[in-house]
Structures are given as C-alpha cells and as structure tokens.
Amino acid sequence: MSALIDGHDVALFDLDGVVYLGPEPVPGAVAGVAALQARGVRAIYVTNNAARPAQTVADQLVTLGFHATVDDLVTSAQAATGLMRRELQPGAKVLVAGTQNLADHMTEAGFVVVSGADEAPDAVVQGYDPQMTWPRLDEAAFAVQNGARWYACNTDSTRPTERGLVPGAGVAVYAVQVTTRVEPIVTGKPFRPLMEEAMRRTGARNPIFVGDRLDTDIAGACTIGIDSCLVFTGVHGKRDLVEAAEGFRPTSIAWDIPGLFRPARELHVDADGVHCGDAYVTAPGGVARIDGDLSGHERQLDALWALARLVWDGRASEYEAALGDLNAVH
C-alpha cells in the first residue's frame, strides 16, 4: 500500500502542536520532516503567529534540529502585509496592535505606523502579542469605531504550549470585535490570504496541509481545496474530529508527522457500517459500536476514522461509548 505522503510534492505544516510544543519539538517531528525532505518533498511552515520575525522562527527550527531557512516560513504577518499593500494607499497610517515584528512589516511596506486613534489611522492591524495591554486594545477599538479598516492576522482562540492551552490572539481580537461590533478582515488560517500566499510561494502542484486544529489548519485547506491531515499531537482530538462540520473535515488523519509514511487509511462502506483496517464500526439503532482489535493508537485511529465517517454520513447519533473505547487518543 502507498504511503499517505505519496503523490504530494509539498507538505505545509502548522507549527504549534504539530512541529513543536513550546521550546521542544513534538516527538518524531524532526526525523519525520527530514525523511520527507530526503524523499524530495518540500517542507513549508505556515503559521498564524505574527509575533515573531520569520528569521527568528527559522532559527528556532534549526536549533531544534530541523533543516529550515527563512524562505520555508509563511506567516500571517506576511499575508496581512501583502493584502494591505493591495488595499491601502502607500503612506497610509496604520495603528499596530501587535509586536514590533508586525510594526516592522508595516514600515517596510511603506505605511506610517501610528500609536493612537487620535492620529486618525486609515487602518488597524492586530496580531498576537504576549505583552498586549488593555490601553492598546482601547486605541484599536477607538480607531475601528472611527472608521479605520481593521485587519486581524488570526483569530485562534487558544495556543498550545508544553504546559497546556493558553489564550490565543483571537481572545484579544474578540475584545475589539464585541466593543466595536465590526468584523475584522482576517488574513491567517483558515482564510484565503495566508493559504494562497503559501501556494504562491511554493508553486505546489499537489500539497497536503498537516495541522492539529480543525478550525484553522483543516478549514484553511478546505477553503482552497487541497488535501489535509489532522494529527493528534496538539489541540484537537477524537471528539472534535467526529463532530466536525463539513468544511472542517480532513481528508486523512495520522498520529504525528511520521504517520505520513504509514499507508493511507482506506474506508470500506457497506450497508451495516464502515471498515477501516481491522476495525468495523456499525450503528444498530443509531448507537455506534466498534468491533476489532483496539490495541495501540494506530488501530484506534483506524476505528476513529471509520466512526467519523459513520457519524458524518448521519448513520450514528450516539457515540459516547465508542469514543470511550478509543482511550489511546485524546
């Protein structure tokens, strides 16, 4: 059987929860990416985090053991800058609610960075900033209420770390949104600007996006119609997958990056249920039931993939016990 990665020329990776968790690489990620590159598959890192310069992120990847250059990074700050260049006049005044990296992008693009709403900015651009303060959010809200065009680099509600989840950039974006009742123009995943920038930069013919979040990584892949793989080393887990709405569903799943070298999971649907590997999932009376060997996470992922298909097809409405059987998957 062919490997999941076969036929793909570029692998687009999310960072947090897929490649690394805080200061440490995800187990198997360094070797997995190196093996992909040895096969001629280009590895590109696509991140919603606009806080740090691409070179800093590339240097971190190298320190962790990955082979990466700044050209292998595509960030939401870069996507925001590109979109704003197309939509704003040169010399437009921009209030930055983000880090110095985001402000530097604006300056390099020919915009004038201002610090307060009283300076009548033409636009506000907002990105993740661990040092964000309420007064700075106040200025962003005042500017948006005064008519400034509002760009948000991403709206991730959480961010995975080695200690657990922490609030993401979307929390600060939401604070401005509920205050102003204005919807931002979002440039990061799952929206088109960042995804299309990644495609343009790589010239990929048949890419696959590997991510840990359905609402950003997988939805972004769905938005532009490319293959995607959900891995279980970060935010989203088995329940999220089974309950995913159309437009948020991956075309494949794997435990981690090395899972891309395992055979692609094949589903066989019959009148009673769905087969995947040794697992057979049925739903007598609408209640999901898993039969087969569930030892180890790979067999449990087979069963989960079959269960997801059964639920997505509307054939199983009760699946709590089935999810409980998959105790090796978070």
Strand order in the sheet with 268-269: 268-269, 273-276, 279-282, 289-291
Question: Mind listing the domains of the chain with CATH numbers?
Answer: 10-48+191-261 (3.40.50.1000), 80-186 (3.40.50.1000), 268-325 (no CATH)
| Distance from chain centroid for Cα 85 | 24
| pTM of model > 0.85 | yes
Partners of 3 in the β-ladder: 263
Instruction: DSSP for 20-44, please give it.
Output: EETTEEPTTHHHHHHHHHHTTPEEE
Ordered per-residue pLDDT tens for the chain, 330 residues? 799 999 999 999 999 999 999 899 999 999 999 999 999 999 999 999 899 999 999 999 999 999 999 999 999 999 999 999 999 999 999 999 999 999 999 999 999 999 999 999 999 999 999 999 999 999 999 999 999 999 999 998 888 788 888 999 999 999 999 999 999 999 999 999 999 999 999 999 999 999 999 999 999 999 999 999 999 999 999 999 999 999 999 999 999 999 999 999 999 999 999 999 999 999 999 999 999 999 999 999 999 999 999 999 999 999 999 999 999 999
Residues 20 and 162: their CA atoms lie apart, in Å, by: 9
Continuous segment of H or E residues that includes residue 45: strand 42-47
Q: What are the residue numbers of the active site?
A: 14, 16
Distance, in Å, from the CA atom of 260 to the CA atom of 253, rounded to the nearest integer, reads: 9
Q: How many CB atoms lie within 10 A of CB 321?
A: 11
